[in-house]
Structure 1
Amino acid sequence: MSDDDGSAMVEFTWLAVLLVVPLVYVLLSALAVQRTAFGVTEAARQAGRAYATADDLAQAEARAREAVALALRDQGVQEPPELEVTCDGPCLAPGTTVTVRVAHEVRLPVLSLLGDAAPVVPVSATHDEVVDVFQEAP
């Protein structure tokens, strides 16, 4: 018998660990970023719709924030994102375009244990919503 008997199993195990562990980490990282990207995109869209259909500015702001929180919670994103709403004219005036930008930073899995030094991936989405021209007068 040679000295190599039984070493194939050990070599295969090490090779599998060295290839599979990084592959699984890359997949988990990509899925975390994609999940947040889906949430941010939907949050921007829903916030724009909620803002543009509100009766007044206070209600519009509250509805937009709630829409963002709900859309992100649906994707499992817990941390509060950055929400920015701008208008190309008087907000909520008929025909005005409301632009909503939602931004969030994704902490990569496992590396988030490093605390503030952990790498993050910025994700953002923008949505334009036109305030309906034919709306009920106050």
Structure 2
Amino acid sequence: MKQTKIVASISDRRCGVDFIRQLFLAGVNVVRMNTAHATPEGIKEIIRNTRKVSKHIGILIDTKGPEVRSTGTDSPIPYKTGERVKIFGHNTEDTSHDCINVSYPNFVNDVQVGDDVLFDDGELDMKVIGKEGDSLVVEVQND
């Protein structure tokens, strides 16, 4: 008996019935759709075409989670391991090296001491070491 499931991420740009049928015949059990990269109509098309191939193919919808963005800067800001910086939820103020402002005003309330805050798709890690007023105090974990 098969113990493994094969999941294939399908784009709404390439989701034709023949393509999905080829994947199914090759052993795919689940079609995964990423809503961060597909339109609602594209998602519907993937589902329709998957069902045309087989009702036995599982459908997995990967929903886009919330993203918090830093506010604008004049140029990229380099950080070094061990530096301490403050993060504020002041979405109308620009970001500087020592003061990162983010798009979500309640950020400071929703993040806890000990949490990691990742920037640049996880390339830069900052650990929350404290809270001071309406800011988080973070320590840079990597250059």
- TM-score, length of structure 1 as denominator length: 0.22
State the structure with bigger RCO (CA 8 A, min sep 6), 1 or 2: 1
TM-score by length of 2: 0.22
Larger Rg: 1
Q: Which one has the bigger helix percentage?
A: 1
